Structure 1
Amino acid sequence: MSNAFAIAAVTSTMRFLLENAIQADSALSGTLVTTKPPDKARGTNTGGQLNLFLYQPQPNAAFRNSEIPHRATPGETGVPPLALNLFYLATAYGEEQRTDEEVMSHHLLGMAMRVLHDHPLLGSDEIRNALPDNDLYQQIERVRITLQPMTVDELSKLWSAFQTPYRLSAFYQVAVVLIASTRQLRAPLPVLTRGRDDRGVISQPSLIPPYPAIDQLTLPTKQNAIRLGETVIINGHNLDGVAVQVRLNRSPRNEQLTEPKFLAPEPGATSTEIKVVFPDQAAEWLAGVYLLAVAVRKPDETEDRITNELPLLLAPRITAIVPNPAARDGASDVALTITCSPQIGPEQRISLLLGGREIRAGARAAPTGDLSFSIPSPTPGDYFLRLRVDGVDSLLIDKSTTVPVFDPSQKVTIT
């Protein structure tokens, strides 16, 4: 790798090669080799001139994320160098006082292209002598010069950016230039042992990972949510151990849960299946979305292994509708009180779905299982109810029968 003089070293080396070739051609005596932008290249000069302009450096895709070999030992993390491809524009100008100015410029451009064609690799001695203090000559990867074809559209855009009239030119790519990073590599201490008793890497002849993981959750009667008192079946692999607990954590949609809850599996758990019952404790739970995981402690280990998390919906259960039937008052409104389990937190979003209508619940100062709703001007008739808590609806459909039916206990009659 090289220091920050690397780009300048490439430009100086190419300029040096072209100057030597011009001096050897008596027909081009007095020709200058410059490295200026195209709009400033000519200046006040009226003689022969060859301008070599670096118009674009680009990252080299092959080396941009690769560490240099032998710079970091195994276990250390090195810093990839700044790997660049340099793109040059070679433009020739003839003597303005000559009638064959353009012919001379073509001669000069042809000579320059021949030199770069015959010199596809920049030599170490040439790079070292071209510019003091550069160390590009020590780079292991050789610096190569390649003629670049350009389409008419690319030429048009490029010369428009230069804001100068177009002149016949040749384009070259010079690659690769590796500039060393000044960031320090990370060198951790050597490893004392590899695993227990320095056993090294342990291979497992199976496609199943060796760590505990959950594949799916099976809920009662093919529902999409579970209710208090019901059982959820957890299927996965490597779920056995000396201590196994089911962990329920809060999700972004259930900020009411401040600490994770842990449940003990039912007897008969295996490495691939665990059953857990949600205790019917209305005051201890909040309806909403939970993230379920299994904490497994293996023999001879002091810390639990936590599986991946899967979302689990805890649905509210409507236990009472008062009054039912419900009579409209003098303003044709109906007031309903819904009793549910589990209790509802004061900051949870609650609404009652009555047929196709949504009625918001009033504010609550503390957790409660009784919710009051005022239904404006309902049409008399029978309505099925759903209680929605933080986006989770009570289970209206009974899927335990051969043909699913609506739960008749969640119907109210308005008179």
Structure 2
Amino acid sequence: MSDALAIAAVTETVRAVLGEAVQHTVPGAEVTARHPNGAGDADAARTGPALNVFLYRTDVDPAWRNTDPVGTHPGETRHPALALALHYLFSAYAPPGDDSTLAERLIGAAMSALHDRPELRADDLRAAADFSDLHLQQEPVKLTPSVLTADQMCRLWTSLGGGYRLSVAYEARVVLIDSSAPGRTPLPVLRRGEAGAGPVAAPTAAAPWPVLDAVRPSVAAPGSDIVLSGSGLAAGAPSVHLTHMLLGGPPVVLPARADRADAVRATLGEDLGAGCWSAVVVLSAADGGERATRPRTLRVAPRVTSALPLTAVRDPQGAAVLEVRCASAVHPGQRVELLVDSRPVTAEPFTRATRTLRFRLAAGAPGRYPLRLRVDGVDSPLTDAETERFDADTAVVIT
């Protein structure tokens, strides 16, 4: 998830990473980001060596261009992200009259640094370019050398209008710039099949190893019970181990109890974080041995704890800022959106775990709209558990 400032953020971060390496190898050297022609004109006034970083071309990544937008559910439509590959030229400049190997040392320091650290880390992006949210992009930005033939290099320097300098080309891929065009997120289907259970498939013979077939409900709320069904789950004392797919960390171990033949039941903790979890049933035998099933996905829904319905007052430009409290806390790096009717609104950036989120709603017509909070693709409940109808209070009123 990145904004239109992501290109400049990559350039500034590359400057910072190379600046550290160049200073260590050639004390007093600087890293600039000028046009190579302008950098050459400045040679007369330059008092020390420098490495120039120049973005000379951008390409649309053909593979990422055809991928579905992050966080899109079936039936939803969104504009895909703009996927870019950035092409850089690193050129070495030495003071006028210098006949040493300063240029070679500058290029060597830059290539060595990117060989050891070919990926722009989130901490580097945040420190060097805090004006952009590129550090929240889940796909890393990697820098790899580009092979330019002598003819390509000659054409490039000729088009730049400057004399050739010792140079090396690099490619930064991939930079994903989110589309600002609004998407469409229809309201969910209330029921699929008899009692909303949908189709059921189960093995016909007992498996030699415990097998976990399904976790129900597939989307659960913190504090609720889940039933994990399969085969061979009565071969020991059961427990359920949960691992957050994005945040990681040590597994959350839940005590479990037999629910019926080949099924166990466990209660989720009230503070279990929203998002996608990996669920595993571990069976402990009397002799101390353990057997574990393969993981299945459990989606834990966020819960809006603000008084509902929310009220949004528009400013003279027609925009409104909503403050939404939720349980449990969401963490940096998680994708958080507020779905107002069928319109997704991305949360304003936050740098630490928080239970209070802010959303800026662009111009919209006054009215009452259904409201959902989406964290890592998992929506807060919109229906009443008893009536299985849309909850009228789970809404935002725009005045």
State the TM-score, normalizing by the size of structure 1: 0.44
Of structures 1 and 2, the one scoring higher in RCO (CA 8 A, sep 6+) is: 2
State the TM-score, normalizing by the size of structure 2: 0.46
Q: Which has the larger radius of gyration?
A: 1
